[in-house]
Amino acid sequence: MFNQGSFPPQGFPPQGFPQFAQPPPQLLTRPECDAAVEKLRKAMKGMGTKESSLIEVFGKYTPLQMNQIINGYESHYGNTLLEDIKSETSGNFGKLCCALSMPLVEYDVKCLHDAIAGVGTDEKCLIEILVGRTNSDIKALKEAYQKIYGKELKDDIKGDTSGTNYRLYKALLKGERDESNAPRNAEADADALYKAGEGRMGTDESAFIDILCNYPSAHLRQVFDIYEKKYEHSIEKAISKEFSGDVKKTLTYLVLSIKNKAEYIADLFEKSMKGVGTNDNKLIRLAVRHRSEYVITPIKEAYLNKYGRTLAKRIKGDTSGDYCKLLLACIHENK
């Protein structure tokens, strides 16, 4: 079992939403933590499992508080919470409970590993997890990946991608995005993107990667606005003209995530439930990773504005039973 140890509890502060006020951390007292641990234990003790108690605990506490509970459970009972949850639950409800039984840094790393395992690469998952993180977050993810899987994250990504796409992910994984408030010339950077692409024969891919992966997100939003006004179309259209294949997809996801992270995640929620059947693995990942109330609130607002219905109503229409109840609890709609 991975021990969170010195790694920051990923998701607190959840990165990528700097425009929303971040509340101060609320830690559980020892008695509060012990009570939650005991409730979980009683829910799984004896014949059968009391799903309502699991929903109550998993749906109530923040990622930071759940980290306390996860550590407290192992200290009290020897087994990890994840081990016991795995043996007592099943189906999509079980998958969701298992995800909530992991420290978020461990869950992030598992999602990254799943995104590059098997055939093909889930670029949307990689962008979802890597974009908008602080440099210290990126460092923690790399260290945790090495600890859990025994190899470097960039090496696994290199084995699954190539060329420009790999260089793009490599730049994101360096964790060298400018986090200072030093003033920058947004118009000059918009011009630099134009000159690297539409303003020349061929494409200077390195310039795109450098600017998009290393400059502050707030500054890049200004750059994108200026680019659209000055050159009369969006930066996404420029990328579509200058790139192709996986690189075009990845750069487009990157730009959309930087432009409006809440809307980008809202779109991912919709796509996980669109069409025939539900992509439950993706829906679970999105609900677990964005469950902090001040993060999911703007996502729900973006979803309502774009799709004309609430995210809760969408989830109710696509899922059922305890699985549905716990998903709704994750997005703070279980009242």
Residue 38 lies in a domain: no
Task: Give the Cα separation of 145 and 155 in Å (integer).
Answer: 11
218: Cβ contacts below 8 Å, ≥ 6 apart: 18
Provide the percentage of residues in the chain whose pLDDT is more than 90: 84
Task: Give the Cα separation of 105 and 294 in Å (integer).
Answer: 19
Question: Residue range 231-244: average pLDDT?
Answer: 97
Task: Give the Cα separation of 64 and 71 in Å (integer).
Answer: 11
Task: Give the Cα separation of 262 and 255 in Å (integer).
Answer: 13
Residue 202 lies in a domain: yes
Task: Give the Cα separation of 330 and 286 in Å (integer).
Answer: 10
Residue 220 lies in a domain: yes
Task: Give the Cα separation of 282 and 239 in Å (integer).
Answer: 26
Does 20 have pLDDT greater than 60?
Answer: no
Domain extent, residue 209, equals 186-259
Task: Give the Cα separation of 143 and 147 in Å (integer).
Answer: 6
Residue 219 lies in a domain: yes
Residue 112 lies in a domain: no
Residue 125 lies in a domain: no
Task: Give the Cα separation of 85 and 287 in Å (integer).
Answer: 18
Task: Give the Cα separation of 87 and 94 in Å (integer).
Answer: 9
Question: Residue range 59-68: average pLDDT?
Answer: 95
Token pair 């945790």: residue: 144
The pLDDT, as a whole number, for residue 10 is 44
Does 236 have pLDDT greater than 80?
Answer: yes
More confident residue, 202 or 10: 202
Task: Give the Cα separation of 127 and 253 in Å (integer).
Answer: 7
Whether the link from the prior residue into 13 is cis, omega within 30° of 0, is yes
Residue 235 lies in a domain: yes
Q: Which band of pLDDT confidence, cut at 50, 70 and 90, is reported for residue 25?
A: confident
**How many independent structural domains does the chain possess?**
1
CB–CB of 41/81 below 8 Å? no
Residue 302 lies in a domain: no
CATH number at residue 243: 1.10.220.10
With vertex at residue 27, the alpha carbon angle to CA 21 and CA 29, rounded to the nearest 5 degrees, is 150
CB–CB of 235/255 below 8 Å? yes
Token pair 């490599």: residue: 170
CB–CB of 115/303 below 8 Å? no
